[in-house]
Structure 1
Amino acid sequence: MSVEEVVGYAPLVLGAGLALIALWAVLWIVRYALADTMMRASIRQAVRVRRTWKRLAPMAGLSVTDKTPTALASLSATDGKAPKPRVLIPALKVKPDRFGVVVRANCLPKVSLEEFQKAAPYLADAWRCERVSVLPDGPGQVIIRGVRVDPLITRTEHVPTGAVPEKAATWDLGVDEYAQPVTVDLSQVPGVTVAGLPGFGKTSLINRLVCDWAPSTAIQFVGFDGKVSKAHEGDYADLVKRMYAFVGDDLEDAHKLFNRLVDLRRARSSSIRSVLGVKSMWDVGPSAAWPLVVAIIDEAHTYFREYKGNDPETKKLARLAAENARLVEDLVKKGRSVGVLVILATQKSTGDAIPTFIRDVCPVGLSFAQKTAEAAVAALGEDIRNWDDANPINLQDPAYVGVASMSHQSRPGFARIRTPYVSDADAARIAADTAHLAHDPMDLLIAHTGLSLSKVDDLSDLFGEEPEAA
């Protein structure tokens, strides 16, 4: 191709380049125009991060000097002078979201994860962020999360879609202090404790779990609410339709229902190999015929409290409370492998509210605001004393209604989580739409095995000797 032909194509190449730039500008403007106020602020923040990075990085100690010249620099050197050293700066990819920016950067020699973490306070000031976190993002990469607006004090609302969850037993809790989604895998988990002062979000947290899981035929719910007497009262009045059984604060009624659950646990333990062909239900996952049974025990202290007195009524209540504790202990210690999950909610999970032989077997614990260090330690363990920022005694401000602390799943320490609000109307809608899915798991087991448990006094006569819990 001649020089004249090359020159002739130049206007076309230039025009195509200008057209691409114009298209990019139009798309950027449209995206900005369609964004809400928070997203627009984050887009402007992302532009500022990119524009100022080359100047900010050396000042924050995030650059390195390369004294070895490139081959091209060596060839272009004149008068025998050595080429000037190059200053290398990590490359950035910046993505805005409603709370701030997510920045991915590559590491350099002497500019690695540790250097980025030390520079986090300087980056927060320069980028005008509430806080900045730096975590590894694969070999030679880091991910920097900067939040312009504190997610913990930004109220959020969750509108359940009514769609079947993609993965069974995955609990979407909300977002952490860096606006990153927090999920907990409850498969293979025997129990969960939820503590916190009244009105700080315990019930809404459980409401979301029920609403998100309700569309699944592989999950069944049973409810205990120690602060009401009837099913139509209290916080779970709308969700009762999706539960196959429910009791209020009557200890005798609760005792009967706990016994039913233990009978189910025993029947499942005895039949799991013959029905599912495995030792643990989680080897095959829950199904419509063998669903995960979620027992929600709210105001759990109602069912376990110690009664002291010599009159017949007090003695009866004391016996029922002790029996209830024994039965729930059975469910928590032996129910995991057969698909029983117990969620216990109370104001403070000290030993007088949830017996320690139950509480200490539950591997997942959350706590909303607490008034005392004793209650915080009971809910989250002794280590919470070393993490003052995440201690639930610091969550008593009304701005933190809906914020819980829990042990961090991916790194040492504790995380604070903003849990969203679920409206009563949405809960009622989901419960009404999924009410037909509520079935007693014992009936399902009987139907699946073709046998009648009601005619058998001893479950071992039907299924053989009960194996020890896995």
Structure 2
Amino acid sequence: MNVEAVTGYAPVALLTVVVLVSVWLLVTVVRYLRADRGTRVSMRQAVRVRWGWVRLARMAGLTVTDKTPSLLAQITAQKDGATPAPRVLTPKIKVKPDQFGVIVRARTLPQVGLEEYQKSARFLADAWRCTRVSVLPDGPGKVVIRGVRSDPLTTTTEHRPTGRPPVDLTRWELGVDEYAAQVCVSLANVPGVTVAGVPGAGKTSGVNKFVCDFAPSAAVQIATADGKVSQASEGDYADLVKRMFAFCGDDLDEANALFKRLVELRKRRSATIRDVLGVKNMWHVGPSPEWPLTVLIIDEAHTYFREYKSSDVTTKRLAALTAENARLVEDLVKKGRSVGILVILISQKTTGDAIPTFIRDVCPIGLSFAQKTVEAAVAALGDDIRNWPDASPVTLQDPAYVGVAVMAMQGRPGYTRIRTPYVSDADAARVTEDTSHLTADPDLCLDALLRSTGRTAPPPPPLAK
């Protein structure tokens, strides 16, 4: 190709470059204008992070000196007769902004690995003007650096339910952690969940989100016992009751009847699961409209389990009821996992006098919103919370932390603080109204399933008196 030909292509190449740069600039400007205020600040922050990375990495000790010259440097040195200068290698990064800050994905180098990044986290936070910075592994030879400019824990968020069935019925999305990362827990093979916290800390709101997210699925059926009210039209669940196949208030006889009903369902499922589903554990095939995940929510759980001490006839009868309630719920928690029964127990304090320890200690997931005493935090999260005072729910008593919970996450050291989003009453009413037609009694679902398969269930054994 001669010089004239190359010169002829130059204007075309230059025009192509100009067009591509113009398109890139246009896309960037549109993204910037459409972004919310926090994301715009993060986009400007991301530019500063990229431009200042080489200098910052050297100052933070995140570079390595390579004394072995490259092949090109060796050839040049042989021609000039000079000794090649050592190279300073800087990790390559990719920066992504979001509402709360930046996510930086970086490469590791020899002698600059995960530990070195973690040691420099505080310095990076100051340089990037972030509230906090975390460094986690992101695969072999990679790390992800999360810098948050504003604290997600004190930033109130609102969740608007979509009304669409969840893609994964085993995934419970709780909210975001202190680094604005999504936090979810698996419900597969989970028999029980405990939720603790002082009044007004956000317990019921967190459970409302659970109901609204799972209500659009016919493979989930919910029953509730609310110890704060006397009837369904009162209290926090008035807007949700249309999506519940059973509800009772603080009446101990009604609660006892509900718990017995669910224990009988558990026994029927245990007796038929192999013949109907072909497995011993429902979670091997997952919930379905014919065999739905059955969730029992027990709010103000201490109402149903408290010990009554007196010799008069009325008190003795109440004491017998609460003792039987504890035994029935224990049956559900200890034996209901494999047949698809989940119990969520909510109480201000999950101490042994509020929720019996033989129930509480079987529940693998425990959340605690704000607490006033260390003893209440230990009851909710375990004795190890004493070793993590910065994450203790005792530190969440400020009004800015309403809706923030603490839990131990599998695979993470220590405890995680989570900002749970608020669901408005109007959205909750809308979702339950639109999905009320999906409400079904799990007992009737099991009857229909047995008829369709041509099988009959053996009668459940009588409850022990």
TM over 0.5: yes
| Aligned-partner SS, 1:270 | helix
Residues 270, 460 of structure 1: 8 Å contact kept: no
Distance, in Å, in 2 between the alignment partners of 1:384 and 1:446 is 46
Q: Which residue of 1 aligns with 2:247?
A: 246
Once residues 451 and 368 of structure 2 are traced to their aligned partners in structure 1, the CA distance between those partners, rounded to angstroms, is: 44
Q: CA deviation at 1:458?
A: 4.6
Letter in 2 for 1:64: V
- 1:272 counterpart SS class: helix
The residue number in structure 1 matching 2:264 is 263
Partner of 1:410: 411
Query: In the TM superposition, what is the alpha-carbon distance from 1:292 to its structure 2 partner?
Result: 0.4
Aligned residue pairs total 458
Question: Structure 2: which amino acid aligns with 1:349?
Answer: T
Q: How does 1:208-357 map to 2 (within 5 A)?
A: 208-357=209-358
Q: C-alpha displacement at 1:306, in angstroms?
A: 0.6
User: Are positions 1:16 and 2:21 aligned together?
Assistant: no
Q: 1:211 to 1:81 in 2, by over 3 A?
A: same
Distance 2:367 2:106 in 1: 33
Q: Which piece of structure 1 moves more, 428-437 or 121-130?
A: 428-437
Answering whether residue 203 of structure 2 is matched by residue 202 of structure 1, we say yes
Task: Encode CA deviations 1:417-465: one digit per residue, 9 max, x unaligned.
Answer: 00000111111111111111111111111122139xxx9995259xxxx
TM-score of the aligned structures, taking structure 1 as reference length: 0.96
More displaced stretch, 364-373 vs 34-43: 34-43
Q: 1:152 & 1:283 partners in 2: Cα distance?
A: 36
1:58 aligns with 2:58: yes
Per the alignment, residue 445 of structure 2 pairs with: 444
Partner of 1:466: none
What SS does structure 2 have at the residue aligned with 1:330?
helix
Q: Deviations over 1:106-151 (max 9, x none)?
A: 0000011000000000000000000000000000000000001100
Q: Deviations over 1:160-179 (max 9, x none)?
A: 01001001131110000000
Alignment of 1:121 onto 2:119? no
Match of 1:94 in 2: 95
Could you tell me which amino acid in structure 2 is paired with residue 341 of structure 1? L
Structure 2: 5+ residue stretches without partners: none
Structure-2 residue corresponding to 1:2: 2
* Match in the other structure for 2:32: 32
Aligned to 1:427: 428
Q: CA deviation at 1:17?
A: 1.4
Answer whether contact 2:409 2:415 (CA < 8 A) is retained: yes
Distance, in Å, in 1 between the alignment partners of 2:16 and 2:160 is 45
One-letter amino acid of the counterpart of residue 190, structure 1: P
3-state secondary structure, aligned to 1:459: coil
Q: 1:128-147 alignment to 2 at 5 Å?
A: 128-147=129-148
Comparing 75-84 with 253-262, which one deviates more in the overlay? 75-84
Letter matched to residue 57 of structure 1: A
Query: Is this contact kept in 1: 2:271–2:457, CA < 8 A?
Result: no
Which structure 2 residues correspond to residues 178-197 of structure 1 after superposition, within 5 A? 178-197=179-198
Which structure 1 residue ranges, 5 or more long, are not aligned?
462-470
8 A contact 1:191–1:332 mirrored in 2? yes
- Cα deviation code 1:278-331 (max 9, x no counterpart): 101111111111100000000000000011111111101100000000000000
* TM-superposed deviation, 1:180: 0.4
The TM-score, its normalising length taken from structure 2, stands at 0.97
Distance in 2 (alpha carbons) for counterparts of 1:173 and 1:194: 12
| Stretch deviating more after TM superposition (301-310 or 439-448) | 439-448
Q: CA deviation at 1:12?
A: 1.9
**Aligned-partner Cα distance in 1 for 2:252–2:275:** 35
Q: Tell me the CA shift for residue 408 of structure 1.
A: 1.9
**CA shift at 1:403, angstroms?**
0.2
Distance (whole Å) between structure 2 residues aligned to residue 20 and residue 141 of structure 1: 30
**1:465 alignment partner in structure 2:** none
Q: Matched residues in 2 for 1:292 and 1:149: separation?
A: 38
- 1:109 equivalenced with 2:110 (yes/no): yes
Residues 272 and 281 in structure 1, CA contact (< 8 A), matched pair in contact too: yes
Write the letter of the residue equivalent to 2:58: P
Q: Deviations over 1:84-113 (max 9, x none)?
A: 111000001000000000000000000110
* 3-state DSSP of counterpart to 1:160: coil
| Counterparts of residues 325-404 of structure 1 (less than 5 Å) | 325-404=326-405
Is this contact kept in 1: 2:221–2:244, CA < 8 A?
yes
Q: Identity percentage over the alignment?
A: 67
Q: Distance in 2 between matches of 1:458 and 1:37?
A: 62
Letter in 2 for 1:324: N
> Distance between the aligned counterparts of 1:169 and 1:318, measured in 2?
37
Query: How many Å separate the matches in 2 of 1:457 and 1:341?
Result: 23
* Cα distance, 1:228–1:72 mapped onto 2, change above 3 Å: same
**Partner of 1:73 in structure 2?**
73
The answer on whether the counterparts of 2:268 and 2:459 sit within 8 Å (CA) in structure 1 is: no
Which residue number in structure 2 is paired with residue 468 of structure 1?
none
CA distance in 1 between partners of 2:255 and 2:442 (Å): 18
8 Å CA contact 2:118, 2:135 repeated in 1: yes
Distance 1:20 1:431 in 2: 49
Q: Distance in 2 between matches of 1:345 and 1:88?
A: 54
Contact 2:287–2:293 (CA under 8 A) maintained in structure 1: yes
Aligned pairs for 1:445-464 within 5 A: 445-450=446-451, 458-459=459-460
CA-atom RMSD in angstroms: 1.4
Task: Give the partner amino acid of 1:162.
Answer: G
| CA distance, structure 2, for counterparts of residue 309 and residue 247 of structure 1 | 26
1:226-250: CA deviations, max 9, x gaps? 0100110000011111000000001
Equivalent position of 1:464 in the other structure: none
Query: Distance between the aligned counterparts of 2:15 and 2:56, measured in 1?
Result: 35
Q: Which runs of 4+ in 1 moved over 3 A?
A: 455-458
- Give the Cα–Cα distance (whole angstroms) in 2 for the partners of residues 408 and 166 of structure 1: 22
Distance 1:14 1:306 in 2: 84
CA–CA distance in structure 2, aligned partners of residues 265 and 203 of structure 1: 26
Instruction: Tell me how far apart the structure 2 counterparts of residues 313 and 71 of structure 1 sit (CA, whole Å).
Output: 93
Q: Kindly provide the CA deviation profile for residues 187-240 of structure 1, in whole angstroms up to 9, marking residues without a partner as x.
A: 100000000011010001000000000010100000000010011000001111
